[in-house]
Each structure stands twice: as structure tokens, then as C-alpha cells.
Amino acid sequence: MRRRLRIGLVRGKDFITVETRPDCTLEEIEATDGKVLAYELEAILPALDEIEFGRYNWVHFIRNAKGGYRLVHKNTTLPSAKCPVWAPLVKESEIQVTRWLTPTTFEGYWGGEEVEVNVAWEEYNLMHIGYETTSHYHLRNLDVTIRFLAHIVRDGSIVGYMTEAQKGRELAMTDVEATFAALTKTLDHGFLYKWPHPRGFLVTDRGVVFVDMGAGVAPCGPGDWEAMGDEIKEAWDLTGDIFDELEAAEKRGRTIVMATEHYGPSLAFVVPTLPSIFRIILPDITQMAVFPILEWIGDQFDVTFLDGHSWRDSLSFVISEKDPSGNHRNRRMIAPPPRDSSTNHTLAPRHSESSDHRPVLKSAERPARSGKRTVKMLIQVHGTARPYRRPIGSGKVLLAPDALEEV
């Protein structure tokens, strides 16, 4: 399935997909170093007030020969994701949205509890929902993952899933034993967490848990261990690499770890309504694996974005790195938090809760690395953007003074 150019827009709690170039593929975007996408983002700005958020979930932005455009709205429906169904079914409309993280992930409240929700808007996303839900199902009784709460239903179809909010901290050197214990426990119960990476783990009050179900959970019973020996070794090597890098960082003086109330700042940048003296300066958008959410400003809407996003905040644009084969995978995207966000730093505890399980291979006992280069699931921030303020003469004050604050 070839991925086409899509742009996700959020106004308040309403999401809509904008299709501007149905003929434009990711390959074309990459071939132009992202210039095609930058052009399309700028082209839709004049149409923001005409897009019918909340009434439709898809809009075609159609140009005409005279340089104008027209909008064709529609509602799309998806089939159900192919996955086991074992948890409660919750309608998407029952969740109070508080913050969008990516075009397919948002945070919110449901039943008085903070939650994180992953949903699909296209069949391409639906495949990932099915895969990640199945991974949760495999590990549902092991207490080694973020807690799975419900399947998300839209128009009668299962299009996503809900988990508890990801609260905790990133790994520290005190977590070596507990991390390998989680991997060992999973393997002992017939499954392999295939591609560990730093953002794939979270240290919670329950200990070390897996949070990236897209990182690969494969059936791997005792009868498979010999045949899958290279994959098992690679998983242990990748986990060892994480702690090798942490150890090196601590030797350089690293004394803090990231503690997050919500695990990962929002993938969003703000689009001011026109006319405005502010404009968006697009960051480097080459090698994009996903498309941005543009948060459309509207004070009349009832959603407060908990991360403090406003048009005066730093505008972050986050994309994930392609793997060497050129494949694009939906990976968790992390960016520096905006001002006054729910993300904060704290000193790492001197000791962490450890498990009674021992790692299969202690750090000092890990076998030598294989000759092949392992593909790490790295996450990159390719650029940031800030609102642009034109020079204004001393006698020309066009906005209230607080609107002209430096960011």
C-alpha cells in the first residue's frame, strides 16, 4: 500500500484529515527534501476557517486553474482492526481529549482516569493498531506492559485501543537487573520483545514495563529458542547497548533522568489564523515518516492543552528516522517539551525496585557482538520552529503588548 500525502488538523478536540495532493507519495516528498509538503502546508492556511471540523473527518483541498480552491468534505469509515478482542469496547466520543501527541495518538480522560489512546484514520494505520493490540494481548497476563484498558470503537468498528497514561521515568543504570528480568519473564512465557530501544521502556511504580508495542512481540516458545537464537541474542545486545550508553553518560557526569507526567511532548505546531503578522517557519522536514498535526487556534473551543501549547510557545516539529532499508514505521516521537509543559526533570533515585528474576545474561557476561550491524530504533529531532515577528516601527503597535513578547 503506497502512502499518500495527508495532513492532520486539530481544532479543539476535533481531528480532520486534509488531502491536498492525492497523487503525491512519500517517495516524492523525500525526493524534494520535503519541499512539496512545506508548500502544501502553506497552501491550506487560507482555507482554515472554511474547514468543517466536528461535522466531517475528511476534506479534499482541490485547486482550480485560476489559482483558487474548493473544499469537498466527506466522512470515511474503516473496517475493524484484525486483532483479538478481550477488553471493554469504548466509543471514541466518550473520551475527553486533552492533548494530541501524534496524528494517531492523543491523551485524555475516561471514567475519571488519565488515558492514552491510539486510533487509526486510514487502513494503513489500522494495520498497526491490529499489530500493537495483538502484542498487548500476548503479554496481557505478565504485568510487563503499560496497562491495556479498552478497544476504541468508531462507527461500529474497532479502530484503536486505550491504555493508562504513561507516567514514570526513563531508564537509569539502577534498572539493569529489572529490565533484563522483564525480557526474561516475557521469554519464559513464550514471547520475545524483539527490538528494545531506550524509549521502549518506562519505569513506573510497578517497575520496568514495555511501552512500545510496535517494537515487535513475537511468539518464541522454548522449542523456538534454537531457531530464533540470533533474534534473542540481538534483543539482549540492544538492551545491553542501552545500558552501555547510559553508563558512558553517567561517567560524563549525567545526574538526572527525564521524569514525565505524560510520556512524550506533543507532535504539533501551531497555525495562526489569517491575516496575522505571525508566520510559520517550517523546520527541516526531510525523511518524514509521519505527517504533522497542526493545532488550529480557537479560544472558543473547550479543550485545554495540558502541555501549555499556545502561539507564543516554542513550536516543535518532530519526525522519526527511517531505517536503512527505507521502510517507514510508526515509532514513538519525542521532542523537547514546550515551556510550562507537564514534563519535568528530577534527580534519579539512588535505588530502584528490582525483581527477584535475574537477567539471562548479566552485563559482564553478554557474548561478543555479532559482525552484522544492528538496526537501532533511533528517534531524531530534525528542527524547531518559532513564530516570526516582523520589525514594527515604534509608532505602529498592531497587537496588544503581550502578543509581542519574545519566545
* Sequence ranges of the domains in the chain: 7-76+266-324, 78-165, 168-261+341-376
Grid cell, residue 180, equals 533484563
SS3 for 186?
Answer: helix
| 317 vs 383: CA distance, rounded Å | 6
pLDDT score recorded for residue 104: 84
pLDDT score recorded for residue 13: 76
Residue with cell string 557476561? 365
| 201 vs 246: CA distance, rounded Å | 14
| 381 vs 319: CA distance, rounded Å | 6
Cβ neighbors of 393 (< 8 A, separation 6 or more) are none
| 393 vs 323: CA distance, rounded Å | 49
The answer to whether residues 325 and 148 touch, using CB atoms and an 8 Å cutoff, is no
Per-residue pLDDT of the chain (407 residues; tens, 9 = 90+): 555 677 888 877 788 888 887 777 767 766 766 677 777 877 888 888 899 988 999 999 998 888 888 999 999 999 999 999 999 999 999 999 888 877 788 889 999 999 999 999 888 889 999 999 999 999 999 999 999 999 999 999 999 999 999 888 888 888 999 999 999 999 999 999 988 988 889 888 899 999 988 878 999 999 999 999 999 999 999 999 999 998 888 888 766 565 554 444 445 555 555 554 444 444 443 333 333 444 433 333 333 333 333 322 322 332 233 333 444 333 232 333 333 333 332 323 333 343 333 333 333 333 344 443 332 222 222 223 222 233 333 433 333 333 333 33
Show the beta-strand stretches assigned E in 272-387: 293-296, 315-320, 343-347, 379-385
The answer to whether residues 290 and 102 touch, using CB atoms and an 8 Å cutoff, is yes
Residue with cell string 487509526? 120
b vs e for 192-202, b when ≥16 Cβ sit within 10 Å of the residue's Cβ?
Answer: bbbbbbbbbbb
| 57 vs 9: CA distance, rounded Å | 10
pLDDT score recorded for residue 131: 93
pLDDT score recorded for residue 337: 33
Q: CA geometry: angle at 377 spanning 374 and 379, to 5°?
A: 140
| 253 vs 63: CA distance, rounded Å | 56
Cβ neighbors of 85 (< 8 A, separation 6 or more) are 151, 158
The angle, 0 to 180 degrees and rounded to 10, between the axes of the packed helices 176-188 and 229-251 is: 170
Residues in the chain: 407
CATH number of 78-165: 3.30.200.20
Residue with cell string 482550480? 64
